[in-house]
Amino acid sequence: MTKSNIIIDVELNENRIPENIEWKASESTADIPQNAKAMMLAFWDGAEKTSLRIDLWTQKMMMDEMADFYYQSLMSMADTFNRATKQKELVDEMKNFAKSFYAKSRELQLKEQEARHKEM
């Protein structure tokens, strides 16, 4: 049996807030650890029938990046669900939600920018 490893290193500041996230995988072609501003990791506990999650992001992560990250994650989850179940109707619903979420997040960001601009 072959074994593969993924190593995630998180540097925390004095308040235990992530400052830096790096990861490397034994199967990767990258020679050095890769930087990330955010990460989501989920495991399924079949015995307890529950999801175990780790969600971290650094203070460098901007709001527009977080919206992009969630949009892409939702779309990826829909693709994974499709490969696993072939339930196109549910996949389409997930993707439509992701698109709506992304459009609304962009709209809110524009409103916030306009409001900040008016304050100046």
pLDDT per residue over 9-64, tens digit each? 999 999 999 999 999 999 888 889 999 999 999 999 999 999 999 999 999 999 99
Lowest mean pLDDT: which of 9-18, 38-47, 67-76, 109-118? Answer: 109-118
CB burial class (10 A; 0-12, 13-18, 19+) of residue 17? exposed
For 43-66, b/e burial (b = at least 16 CB within 10 A) is eeeeeeeeeeeeebbbeebeeeee
Tell me, what's the pLDDT at 113?
85
Q: Are 21 and 8 in contact (CB under 8 A)?
A: yes
Q: What are phi and psi of 101, to 5 degrees?
A: -55, -45
Helix (H) or strand (E) holding 116: helix 88-119
Domain range annotation of the chain: 1-59, 62-120
